[in-house]
């Protein structure tokens, strides 16, 4: 099932990142460039780097200039993350382009790729919650609290995985049709962000 492949590759990407555990580490994607696996690995690597950028930027002692640099790196990462989701949806649109939706077909609240995006973030939450459980200086109360959260995250991953697989089965059978919208992020567009276009006018 697709969710099994996603979870396997997401875990691989996270493990590979933590071999160096440094946000500047270049990606070494092991999958062929045109493959679905390549997209999944790249997507999760972006998420993993951004996860750690978000940790670093919250350091209360960070210098303002460094904080601003990281904030801009996070903004740039968010745009790439969105682009990757749209590439994954394009893959599914190609996969199911020959499917004729039934007259009774309905639309899902989110596309397959945005559900897979949530699965990628869940993989990161699970990895880091597990790390908290085995942290050497963690108190018993902290470990118990994290274990309870981990149990919920694992259940959530099972539910989301099943939902993704069910969604794809229903798309393939014509019971649900895909309709994908571009994420029109305005803050990165110099023609739509008033702070940016006012500078151009002035």
Mean pLDDT in residue range 83-111: 94
CB 18 within 8 A of CB 51: no
Which pLDDT band holds residue 179 (cuts at 50, 70, 90)? confident
Instruction: Return the domain boundaries, the chain.
Output: 2-124+160-201
What is the tens place of the pLDDT at every residue in 110-166? 999 999 999 999 999 999 999 999 999 999 999 999 999 999 999 999 999 999 999
CB 76 within 8 A of CB 143: no
Tokens of 121: 């973030």
* Burial classification of residue 89, based on how many CB atoms lie within 10 Å of its CB (0-12 exposed, 13-18 middle, 19 or more buried): buried
Q: Whole-model pTM above 0.85? A: yes
Is 72 a residue whose pLDDT tops 80? yes
Which pLDDT band holds residue 202 (cuts at 50, 70, 90)? low
């Amino acid at each position: 099932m697709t969710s099994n492949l996603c979870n396997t590759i997401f875990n691989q990407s996270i493990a590979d990142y933590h071999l160096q555990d440094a946000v500047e580490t270049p990606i070494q994607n092991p999958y062929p460039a045109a493959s679905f696996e390549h997209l999944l690995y790249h997507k999760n690597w972006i998420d993993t780097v951004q996860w750690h950028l978000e940790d670093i930027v919250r350091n209360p002692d960070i210098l303002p200039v460094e904080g601003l640099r990281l904030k801009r790196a996070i903004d740039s990462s968010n745009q790439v993350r969105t682009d990757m989701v749209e590439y994954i949806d394009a893959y599914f649109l190609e996969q199911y382009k020959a499917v004729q939706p039934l007259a009774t077909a309905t639309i899902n609240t989110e596309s397959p790729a945005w559900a897979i995006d949530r699965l990628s973030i869940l993989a990161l939450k699970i990895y880091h919650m597990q790390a908290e459980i085995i942290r050497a200086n963690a108190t018993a109360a902290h470990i118990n609290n994290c274990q309870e959260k981990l149990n919920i995250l694992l259940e959530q991953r099972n539910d989301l995985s099943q939902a993704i697989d069910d969604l794809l089965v229903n798309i393939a059978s014509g019971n649900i049709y895909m309709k994908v919208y571009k994420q029109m992020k305005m803050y990165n567009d110099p023609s739509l962000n008033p702070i940016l276009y006012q500078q151009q006018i002035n």
